[in-house]
Chain A
Amino acid sequence: MTHQHINKVTSSRENILAAAQANKPAETPLPTVPDFGGDASVERFTQVLAGIGGRAVWVQRPQPLEPVLAQLFPEARRIASPLLAGAVDINAQTPTALLAEIDLAVLEGEIGVAENGAIWLPEANMLHRALPTVTQHLVLVLDHRCIVATMHQAYARLPGTGGYGAFVAGPSKTADIEQSLVIGAHGARSLVVLLY
């Protein structure tokens, strides 16, 4: 970057902030957002999840997940998961070529949201930031006691967003061709939630 360029950009910052200060309206109050309550039942969560193309399956923990997964994904060869012994070893440094071959990722979700079927998945549970979208299929394991009613309650429970984290609601989808819903756009083609 040239010296001139840096000066220009620095002055843009000052100009923008000065214009924002000069042109802003008189201060208005910031409202407090109430909780609103709502239905936090597992039934509601699974019903909404089905509506957005996901599927819930009950499992017993701490019993091993392998038999259920073998039944649900008999074709999956390359599985990435911190929860399974013998899974493909994935970490933040794993090269793209290896990530691209993952058939199935089995990760732990932290909070479920009943009103929209979303599950909070923090970076710490992802192995690699790209894993939840690069994998062909995604399984999220969720403690049914961690289901809340709304997004307000989910955000209130988040200790923070860490470096990266996502609410994942169902499989990747698109309706960009004539509004026809197609599941499996660029991210995971399917989403199964293993509830315990």
Chain B
Amino acid sequence: MTHALRASTFVADAERTSWHDETLWFVRQKRDKAVYAVPEFQELRELASQIKEHTLSRLDEYLMQFEAKAQRNGVQVHWAANAQEHNDIVLDIIRRHGATRVVKSKSMLTEECHLNPHLTGHGIEVIDTDLGERIIQLREEAPSHLVLPAIHLKKEDVSDTFHLHLGTEKGNHDPQQLTEAARQHLRAKFLAAEVAISGVNFAVAETGGVVICTNEGNADLGVNLARVHIACMGLEKLVPRLTDLGVFTRLLARSATGQPVTTYTSHYTKPAAGKELHLVIVDNGRTQQLGRPDFRASLKCIRCGACMNTCPVYRRSGGHSYDFTVPGPIGAILSPNIDLKKHSSLPFASTLCGSCTDVCPVKIDIHTQLYKWRQVLAEAGEIPAAKKWSLQFMGRLLASPTAFGIGGRVARTGLRLLPYRLTHSKTFNAWAVARELPEPPKQSFREWYRETGKV
């Protein structure tokens, strides 16, 4: 199924689409306010980009430095080539402790690896503790945004879900009271959990430590009460130095939600006395992406979500229309690396307006990469025939002034005479499905110029 087809279910509810669009635009505006308040913000973006580029250019060395430091700190380091290995490693650790109750804070990586179904299938209770993630977990849905996983839902939806699963009063839509109910429900889970799984925002090569950023405090609460902490990270999370965090912590929350910083920026370097800290370093296609010169910059991403908040297509099509763990513009350039065929429509889910590139805190050339993926897809024969032929035809037409002149004359007459059913046929012209063609003019600019030039 294509992005456009999946989006059609989302846009069928016009009111909700507008609400989604406006809500995310509001987040984008909060980002602007926070960003404009920092005079050196553009310099910080450049620094962040350079630091990440440098790290990628010496990735193997930094990974080894990080591993050695972490091990010296008493951390157990694991390597996973793919999702399956990652899931096996995590399950293995949990089993070795005879644990069945697990809490998990936000991690797009474990989402990418489909860890939850794997654990649940082996009799482990795994509770997502980020409020948004808990909501969608109860609804058995996937997150629709990188940092706002339940942004596709209204408070009425949350109220119904909580009424069903947590026994809150029916029809009580108050976010304050719903959050309080979740707090009570999750507190019991935190107190009982034997193992806590978390994601990682940054991993520091020189200290061997990892940094986790949350607003709710759910990562810290879970991790610091449980006996075992398993932190799962994609190998692109590395930065070389502790002081590099000065740059990234100044960019992340401002770009994401317009906050000056997340409530908790927590540095885990050594396990607490008598406890265990495991780090699972995951590849899952990342080193392959590193080998693609046109697309490797996507590995600089710090998962702030700014590119989706600003994207006119994401805002009006919703995260689920991408059918990939990471939605929006960044998802559209990460997904073809994983499965070119399955995600072939995503690089086309863009107007190429470049707004994503403008806001990206690590200066990823997102819209250029979208354009380049389109070329890769065309080469691989992964674009629909109608689009392929019409683009080839247009290419030839626009390259020849004579053909363009004749073509224009034919179109001006043709559009007036041809039946609507044909010009708006879904088969030949998908573009016109939700659009009206303009009234064809009587003459072209060139004809008009020739005439008026004579005067």
Residues of A within 8 A of B (CB): 1, 5, 8-9, 12-13, 15-31, 33-34, 36, 48, 51-52, 92-93, 96-97, 99-100, 113, 115-118, 128-130, 132-134, 150-156, 158, 160-180, 182, 184-188
Contacts and interface: CB of A to CB of B under 8 A. Distances in A.
B18 interface: no
The CB with the most chain B CB atoms within 10 A, among A93, A97, A113, A176, is that of A176
Contacts of B51: 30-31
B113 interface: no
B176 to A, nearest CB: 5
A164 B263 contact: no
B56 A16 contact: no
B224 A5 contact: no
Contacts, number: 264
B304 interface: no
A20 B264 contact: no
Contact of B266 (A13, A30, A166): A166
A33 B246 contact: yes
A28 B250 contact: no
Interface string B333-352: 00000000000000000000
The CB with the most chain B CB atoms within 10 A, among A15, A21, A99, A163, is that of A163
11 contacts: A9-B80, A19-B290, A23-B290, A25-B53, A29-B50, A100-B191, A128-B224, A166-B264, A174-B132, A179-B26, A185-B183
Interface stretch (B211-219, B387-395, B399-407, B432-440): B211-219
B263 A168 contact: yes
Contacts of A152: 243, 246-247, 250
Contacts of A177: 131, 135, 150, 155, 158, 175, 178-179
B274 to A, nearest CB: 8
B250 A164 contact: no
B380 to A, nearest CB: 20
Contacts of A97: 191
A9 B85 contact: yes
Nearest to B220: A133
A23 B80 CA distance: 18
B268 interface: yes
Contacts of A132: 220
The CB with the most chain A CB atoms within 10 A, among B23, B261, B262, is that of B261
B267 interface: yes
A24 B290 contact: yes
B354 to A, nearest CB: 24
A29 B54 contact: yes
Give 5 closest A-B pairs by Cβ, nearest first: A187-B217, A23-B291, A116-B260, A176-B132, A163-B270
B265 interface: yes
B183 A184 contact: yes
Interface string B40-57: 100100010011011011
A166 B85 contact: no
A185 B38 CA distance: 28
Nearest to B246: A152
Contacts of B131: 174, 176-177, 185
A172 B217 contact: yes
Q: Size class of B's contact patch?
A: 35 or more
Interface of B: 23, 26-27, 38, 40, 43, 47, 50-51, 53-54, 56-60, 63-64, 73, 78-81, 85, 88-89, 92, 129-132, 135, 148-151, 153-155, 158, 175-176, 178-180, 183, 186-187, 190-191, 207, 209, 215-218, 220-221, 224-225, 235, 240, 242-247, 249-250, 257, 259-274, 281, 283, 287-288, 290-291, 293, 296
Contacts of B180: 184
Nearest to A36: B40
Contact of B269 (A51, A117, A161, A186): A161
B47 A33 contact: yes
B229 to A, nearest CB: 10
Contacts of B79: 9, 12-13, 16
Contacts of A162: 269-270
Contacts of A129: 220, 224, 272
A16 B82 CA distance: 10
Given A20-B63, A130-B220, A167-B264, A178 B191 contact: no
Given A20-B235, A25-B293, A151 B225 contact: no
A20 B63 CA distance: 9
A172 B268 CA distance: 19
A170 B263 contact: yes
A41 B318 CA distance: 43
B186 A186 contact: yes
B58 A24 contact: yes
